[in-house]
Copies of this chain bind each other. A is one copy, B any other.
Amino acid sequence: MGFYVTVLGSGASMPTGHRCCSAQVVNIEGFKILIDAGEGVQNQIRRAHVKMQSIDTILISHLHGDHFFGLPGLISSMHLCGRTQPLDIYAPKGLDDVFEAIFRVSNTELNFQLNIHTITPDVSQPILANAKCRISSFPIYHSIETYGFLIEEQKKTSLSLKRDVCKKYNLAADDIARIKQGDDLVLPEGTIVPNANLTQQPKSPRKYAYCCDTSYNENLVPIIKGVDLLCFDTTFDSKNEELALSKGHGTTVQAATLAKQAEVSQLLLTHFSARFKDITPLVEEAQAIFPNTVAATDLSVIELQTL
């Protein structure tokens, strides 16, 4: 099944003609997580052909406007379009105050239950777990309280069928269930097909780490170790390392260095400053250190590959 990251906004601070502010939809086997919600996110959701009402949960990394100013509009539109399914938002302390003020002045009473959960600043904190994924937050290094997110596919407990082999036997649903639990197959004439011929170990669960906005910090290495995809703050190129640090942002070289240190499979650069009209040199800077690097562009989709 699929595990996709759809970039809705890849720019920093304010929208430009080419990049909206930070937002992504992570689709993990149909469970849809919106991470951050910069202004205009509802438009971007539509442009990405994601059904607005299919968003299952929302994670907000921090409360700078470029990461949440699209949230009131999205919530309002969900309400106006008849949502009844409850919605959980996980965000740093304070988002509930903003919504309290907005709902009060606009005299709005939502049709659905909006649950705003406050993330607490533990080193790493489980946020949510269901049949498809586990999500945890961890503090990252920005100018205000900010969190990264680790989204892990749930480990499959049953064996995977070798489909090419199994299809020879015209298996019933009961047979399949038993084989996935480790049983051998007994054919009608009594022949035994050993389980090892029919199954393989389940594939490794995939992992996605989102770290934006943040400075480079080696404390992140053990948390994001070995993830399949790391999305990291790349507001600046390497020439602006001091500026990046002063503003709590990362650079190309820092993102790539961290990706290498943490032995991730792929690096996704995002949150580009509007000063960079052409980001090719930034991607090249990162690729010189960590070759499997791609740059986020609005509406691009990255699939996490099954190993």
Contacts and interface: CB of A to CB of B under 8 A. Distances in A.
Interface of A: 13-15, 17, 39-40, 42-43, 46-47, 63-66, 69-70, 72-73, 76-77, 80-81, 92-95, 97-98, 100-102, 104-108, 143-144
B65 A69 contact: no
Contacts of A43: 15, 17, 40
Q: How many copies of this chain are found per oligomer?
A: 2
B76 A69 contact: yes
Contacts of A39: 39-40, 42, 70, 73
A117 to B, nearest CB: 15
A120 B68 CA distance: 31
B46 A17 contact: yes
A76 B106 contact: no
A102 B107 contact: no
Given A97-B101, A105-B97, A76 B65 contact: yes
B98 A94 contact: no
Given A94-B104, A105-B94, A76 B42 contact: no
B65 A73 contact: yes
Nearest to A46: B17
Contacts of A106: 63-65, 144
A101 to B, nearest CB: 5
A307 B104 CA distance: 45
Contacts of A69: 69, 72-73, 76
Given A73-B39, A107-B144, A65 B14 contact: no
Given A17-B43, A69-B69, 10 more contacts: A14-B81, A15-B42, A15-B73, A40-B40, A65-B73, A65-B76, A65-B102, A69-B76, A98-B102, A98-B105
Contact of A76 (B14, B73, B100, B143): B14
15 contacts: A13-B80, A14-B42, A14-B73, A15-B40, A15-B42, A15-B43, A17-B43, A17-B46, A39-B42, A63-B105, A66-B76, A69-B76, A93-B105, A94-B104, A98-B101
Contacts of A66: 76
Contacts of A65: 72-73, 76, 102, 106, 108
A105 B15 CA distance: 21
Contacts of A63: 105-106
Nearest to A107: B144
A215 B41 CA distance: 31
Contacts of A73: 14-15, 39, 65, 69
Contacts of A94: 101, 104-105
